[in-house]
Amino acid sequence: MTMNGLFRGLGVAGLMAGVVACQGLGDEATSARDAQQVAAPGVEAMKNLVVVSLDASHVPTFVKGDFGRIAASKELRAGKTEQVALRPVLAALEPLFHASPEELVFQQAVTDNIGDRHYVYAQHKHGLEVVGGGLVLHSRNEAVYAVHGSARADLDAPRIPGLGVTEAVALARKDTSLVGPLDTGARPQLAYWKTGDALSLVYRVNVTGVREDGAPVDEEVVVDAMHGGIVARASNLQTLKNREVHDLNHGQVLPGPTARVEGGPAVADAVVNTNYNLLGLTYDCYKNLFNRDSYDNAGAKIVSSVHYGTNYANAGWSSTAQQMLYGDGDGVTWGNFANALDVTAHELTHAVINATSNLHYYAEPGALNESMADSMGAVCEWYRDGQVVSANTWKAGEEIWTPGVAGDALRYMSDPKKDGRSFEYYDMTYDTFVEVHLGSGIPNLAFYLLAQGGQHPRGRSYTQVTGIGIAKAAQVFYRAITVNLLGNRLAGFAEAKVATEQAAAQLGYSAAEIASVTAAWNAVGVGANAIDHSEFFVRQTYQDVLARAADASGLAYYLNILGSCNGDATCLANYRALIAQGMLESPENRQQDPDLNPASPNYKAAFITHCYTNFLRRQPSASEHSWWLDVLNRTDYRQVVNGFITSPEYRQRFGRQ
C-alpha cells in the first residue's frame, strides 16, 4: 500500500526504517536486506531528507535533502571527471534508490536557466539500456539538493531472448498497419523496458516508410523479445494532430531546396516568409523567457520545410531528420499550417523535449509531450501579444482550423472537452494508453488552471485553484520537463505533478504558489491522496463493500458530505475513509460477518481482512495481515482505509497505472 505520508520529514534512519516497514507486505527477505543497508557507508552523511514520491514497492523516486558537495573544477564542468567526483554520491544513494552505481552510465550535465546543474545517468543492465530507468542528481552551488529516478537494480532481468531479430522485425512490420513499402533501417536493438516492478526484455525496431495515403511513417516499435507481441509503439514524428487526410503524391523528401536562410531577404513565397518570421518569434520566446538558445540550448540551426506534400493536413517535428515540416492543408478543414505561431511553437517544443526529458511518444508520456507542446504554444502566443492573455491564448490551432469558421479551434486548453474528444479528468476509468493528443487535455487543463485560476469547467472536481499567472506557470512547466523529468522517458501524470511541485519550490515560489500547483493537478484528478471523482468513489464503494448499486438517497447524502470539503484534499481524504469505514461497519455488512461489530474481540482482524477482500478482491497473506494489524494498532481505522483506497493495487482494478 502507498503510505507516502508516513515518510515526509523523516531523517535517514527513519526513512530507511519506514521503507523497510512498508516492504514488509510479505517480503521478509527484502526487509532483512534493506535493514542491513541502513548502515551503508555514506548514507549517514545525508541530511534533512524528505521523500517526495515513492514507487509501487515503496522505493523512493524523488528525494530532497543535503547529499553533499561536488568538487568544483573546469574539468568537472566539462563533464570529463564527473565519474570520479560523483561516484561517492551515487554509492551513498544505492540503499535509498536500490540503484547500483555499476549500472549507471553518465549521459550529460545540464545547466538550466537559473544556474542549477543537473547530472543525468542512464541505467544499463547486462550491457543493455533500461528504457524508463535512470537517475538524475540536482545541484546548486556545487551542493546536491535533490535526486530523482527509478534505476532499480533489484529487479529480475531475463538475459536470453526467446525471439530472433528476424521474427521481431516481422512482428513490427505486420503491426504497422495501412502502410506502403517499409524500411526497418538499422538492426533492431535489445533493451529492457521498465514497467512498475518488472523489466521486460524487448527489441526496439525502427520502422520508416510512407502510408498508403502518402503520410510519412517513422516509428519505434517495441517488441516483447521473450514471447512476441507489441509492448509499445511511438512515433518519431511528433505532430500537432493525429489524422490521416488526403492522398500525398509528391514532396516527401526532406528537407528540399533551400528557400531562405538566416538574415536573408524576403522571397516571393509568402508562406516561406511567414514561417521564417514565426520561427524567429518562437526562438525569441524561448530565449527571452527561459534563456534557451534554440531547441538544444546550444544554438542549433532550426530547419523547416513548408509545402509538404499535396494538401497535407498536418505539421510535425521529425526527431529522425531533426527538422519541422508543414503541410498546406485543404483550405476547408485546415488552413496552411505554417501560418500559425502556436503550431510552430508546438513543433519546436517537441524538439526541446527530445533534447531534454525525451518523453516517449505513447500513452501518458506522449500525452505529457503533447501537452507541453500545446502549453508552450499558448505561452509564445502570449509573448507575441505583448504578454497579454486573451481567449485565443488558450486555443490551439485556432488560426488554421476550419478557416471559414470564426472562433473555433483544434483544442481548447481551458475546456478540453469542448472539442468533443479530448479528456479532461484523470479518474479510475481513464485508459492510460489513450491516444496522446486526446490525453493531453488533462495536463493542458492543469496548466490553464495554474495560470488563470478557477475550478474544473465541467464540475468534475470541487478544487478551487488560485492562479499564479501564465509567466510563472510557464516557468514551472518548462523546468519540470527540462529538469525534473530528465532521464524519465516513461513519466506519467503523477510524475509530472511531482516534477512541477518541485519546480515551483526550486524556483523559489511562495508556499501559496506551490499549493496552487498541487491544486491544479488535483482539480483534474491527479492527486497523491485523491480517489478522484466523488460520484465514482461513492458508487464504487457501494459495489465494493455492500455488493450493490448505490440508492439515490445514499448517493446524494454522501456526495453532499464530500461536496462540503470544497475541494480540500485533506478533508476529502478524511471523509472518503470515513464513508468507506462506515459502510464496512454498517448493519448491512455485519450480516455478512458479525465480527465487523466494533464490540467484537475479533473486530480488528476482521476489519483488515475485509479491507483486502472488499477493496483488493483477494485474501491477505499472513505477513500482510500482521503488518496492517500492527499499523492499525498504532494509528486508526481511517488511516488504514485510506491506505487501501489510495493504493496502486486498488487503482489498477480500474485500468489505471
Look at residue 84 and tell me whether its pLDDT is greater than 90: no
C-alpha cell at 12: 535517514
C-alpha cell at 46: 545525508
Q: Which of 165-174, 180-189, 366-375 has the highest mean pLDDT?
A: 366-375
CA atoms within 13 A on the CB side of 219: 24
| Alpha carbons 626 and 28: distance in angstroms, whole number | 12
Look at residue 64 and tell me whether its pLDDT is greater than 80: yes
**Please, which pLDDT band fits residue 389 given cuts at 50, 70 and 90?**
very high
Q: Are 363 and 436 in contact (CB under 8 A)?
A: yes
**Please, which pLDDT band fits residue 239 given cuts at 50, 70 and 90?**
low
Greater model confidence, 556 or 28: 556
| Alpha carbons 402 and 104: distance in angstroms, whole number | 50
pLDDT of residue 373: 97
Residue in the block written with cell 480500474? 654
Look at residue 78 and tell me whether its pLDDT is greater than 80: no
Model pLDDT for residues 194-227, shown as the tens digit of each residue: 887 889 999 999 888 776 656 677 888 899 999 8
Set 103, 219, 347, 398: catalytic member: 347
pLDDT of residue 462: 73
| Alpha carbons 56 and 191: distance in angstroms, whole number | 22
pLDDT of residue 5: 25
Residue in the block written with cell 523535449? 353
pLDDT of residue 177: 55
Look at residue 632 and tell me whether its pLDDT is greater than 70: yes
| Alpha carbons 47 and 64: distance in angstroms, whole number | 9
Residue 148 annotated as catalytic = no
Greater model confidence, 527 or 295: 295
Look at residue 77 and tell me whether its pLDDT is greater than 60: no
**Please, which pLDDT band fits residue 529 given cuts at 50, 70 and 90?**
very low
Model pLDDT for residues 146-178, shown as the tens digit of each residue: 999 999 999 999 999 999 998 988 888 776 654
* Interval 450-460 mean pLDDT: 92
What secondary structure does DSSP assign to 58-111, as a single string? S-EEEEEEE--B----HHHHTTSSHHHHHHHHHHHHHHHHT--GGGEEEEEEEE
**Please, which pLDDT band fits residue 537 given cuts at 50, 70 and 90?**
confident
Report percent pLDDT > 90 for the chain. Answer: 45
* Interval 526-543 mean pLDDT: 70
How many C-beta atoms surround the C-beta of residue 544 within 10 A? 22
The mean pLDDT of the chain is 83
Look at residue 16 and tell me whether its pLDDT is greater than 60: no
**CA–CA distance from 403 to each of 23, 96, 389, 406 (Å)?**
58, 55, 22, 7
Model pLDDT for residues 465-521, shown as the tens digit of each residue: 999 999 999 999 999 999 999 998 999 999 999 999 999 999 999 999 999 999 999
List, in sequence order, every residue forming a beta bridge with 194; answer none if it has no partner.
199
Q: Are 400 and 335 in contact (CB under 8 A)?
A: yes
pLDDT of residue 186: 64
pLDDT of residue 179: 52
Set 346, 350, 437, 610: catalytic member: 437
Residue 246 annotated as catalytic = no
* Interval 51-80 mean pLDDT: 76
Look at residue 532 and tell me whether its pLDDT is greater than 70: no
Report percent pLDDT > 70 for the chain. Answer: 84
Model pLDDT for residues 396-422, shown as the tens digit of each residue: 999 999 999 999 999 999 999 999 999
| Alpha carbons 426 and 533: distance in angstroms, whole number | 9
pLDDT of residue 18: 33
* Interval 530-556 mean pLDDT: 78
**Please, which pLDDT band fits residue 35 given cuts at 50, 70 and 90?**
very low
pLDDT of residue 82: 62
Long-range pairs, 51-55, Cβ under 8 A, ≥24: 51/4, 51/7, 51/8, 51/10, 51/15, 52/148, 52/498, 52/501, 52/502, 53/4, 53/494, 53/495, 53/498, 53/528, 54/2, 54/4, 54/7, 54/19, 55/150, 55/152, 55/196, 55/197
Q: Which range among 225-234, 340-349, 486-495 shows the weakest confidence by mean pLDDT?
A: 225-234
Phi, psi of 477 (to 5 degrees): -70, -35
* Interval 259-271 mean pLDDT: 87
**Please, which pLDDT band fits residue 565 given cuts at 50, 70 and 90?**
confident
